[in-house]
Amino acid sequence: PQLANGPWLTSPDFDQTVLAYFKKVGKARIQFKDYLIDGRMLHDPDIDSPLITVTLQQSPGYSGQTKAIQSAAWQASDKRVALVVTNISSTPQLANVPVIFAKLKLEAGINHTLSVRDETGSTLGTDSASADKTISLSIPAYAIRVIEITR
């Protein structure tokens, strides 16, 4: 995926770390398109996260607080589920991601594989569950993790 070329990309004021993160987001969107483009959103996982201050350069004087860990749950048309978890802060974060079967429309009592992947689709680890479970992830700064849940 490529970003549309514009003056903001070449501006000396544009944060290159943010640009690199945007590129990761684009890769994840394409890699996990079954969920993020063709799928539908489910209830977001409830993840505790420290707050960080976000300042918008294009809106002088605007800053606010938001969670360092952002997340969303998605379901593909074939009923596979993915939890997308991203760290938008400049420091590594620990995320305890709840996999709640009822919220994710998963059948309890049936074994499911939980594959942790990065934005390129590379597998970082696997686990299994047949009931609610919490997955602990150490997420580097400006990184994306996707937990794919399959039967």
Give residue-wise pLDDT tens across range 10-42: 666 667 888 889 889 999 999 999 999 999 999
- pLDDT tens digit string along 129-141? 999 999 999 999 9
User: Residues near 59 by Cβ (< 8 Å), separated by ≥ 6?
Assistant: none
DSSP-assigned beta bridge partners for residue 63 = 55
Residue 52's Cβ-count burial label (10 Å; 0-12, 13-18, 19+) is middle
The tokens describing 149, both together, are 């849940």
Name the pTM for this structure.
0.88
Task: Give mean pLDDT, residues 51-68.
Answer: 81
- pLDDT tens digit string along 71-101? 999 999 999 999 999 999 999 999 999 999 9
- The count of residues in the chain is 151
DSSP string, 23-85: HHHHHHHHHTHHHHTTSEEEPPP-----EEEEE-TTSTT-EEEEESEEEEEEE-TTS-EEEEE
Task: Give mean pLDDT, residues 113-127.
Answer: 97
pLDDT value for 76: 97
